[in-house]
Amino acid sequence: NQIFCSSLSGYGIPLGENFIERLKTELSATDSMVIFMLSENFYKSPACMCEMGATWIQSKEHIPVLIPPFSFEDIDGTLKLTQGFMINDSMKWNEFKDKIIQTFGLEDLSDSVWERKRDRAIARINEFVTLGGNK
């Protein structure tokens, strides 16, 4: 109930609500972190460009996550200067988890629980990317 995802039904913007106003409201929360899922489609989306600009203007903490075959060389705009990671890099997932725990003051998972969940997620991501599901 604390996740806002502008492109995922149930986590985003309800029918009839003003997209820009809701985005401003969500970004004005003091304890927010923006996670950009970067792909070719991200850069083709006016809504994504709007979110990126709003995040930059408000100096919100943000983390770019790259979806293969998109690579670091493909990044344009303000995100080029922000340290990000490839979505299937297990070591970076560990850093990502630590960052989220630190930012939001969450309780850490045991290593065995975390690694099992992380490895399962990465296997599903790699399967999806291999099948070309990111296009």
SS3 62: strand
Question: What is the identity of the amino acid at 54?
Answer: A
- 51 flagged as catalytic: yes
What is the residue-wise DSSP string for 67-114? -TT--GGG--GGGGGS--EETT-HHHHHHHHHHHHHHHTPPPPPHHHH
Q: Which of 21, 51, 107, 127 does the annotation list as catalytic?
A: 51
| Catalytic residue ranges | 51
